[in-house]
Amino acid sequence: MAELIDGKQVANDIKEELKKEVDELRGKGVIPGLAAVLVGDDPASETYVSSKAKACEKIGVYSEVIRRPGDITQQDLAEIVKDLNHRDDIDGILVQSPLPKHMDELTVTLLIDPAKDVDGFHPHNVGMMLIGRPAFLPCTPNGIMELMRRYKIDPSGKEVVIIGRSNIVGKPMAALLVQKAPGANATVTIAHSRTKEIASVCRRADILIAAMGVAEFVKGDMIKEGAVVIDVGVNRVEDSSKKKGYRLTGDVAFEECEPKASMITPVPGGVGPMTIAMLLTNTVISSRRRLKQAR
Active site residues: 52, 96, 119
* Contact assessment for residue 115 and residue 121, using Cβ atoms and an 8 Å cutoff: no
Enumerate the β-bridge partners of residue 33: 62
Q: Return d(Cα 38, Cα 133) in angstroms, integer.
A: 30
Inter-axis angle of helices 7-27 and 139-150, to 10 degrees? 100
**Contacts of the segment 175-181: beta carbons below 8 A, 24+ positions apart:** 175/129, 175/130, 176/129, 176/137, 176/141, 176/142, 176/145, 177/145, 179/132, 180/132, 181/132
Cα-based angle 49, 51, 52 (whole degrees, multiple of 5)? 65
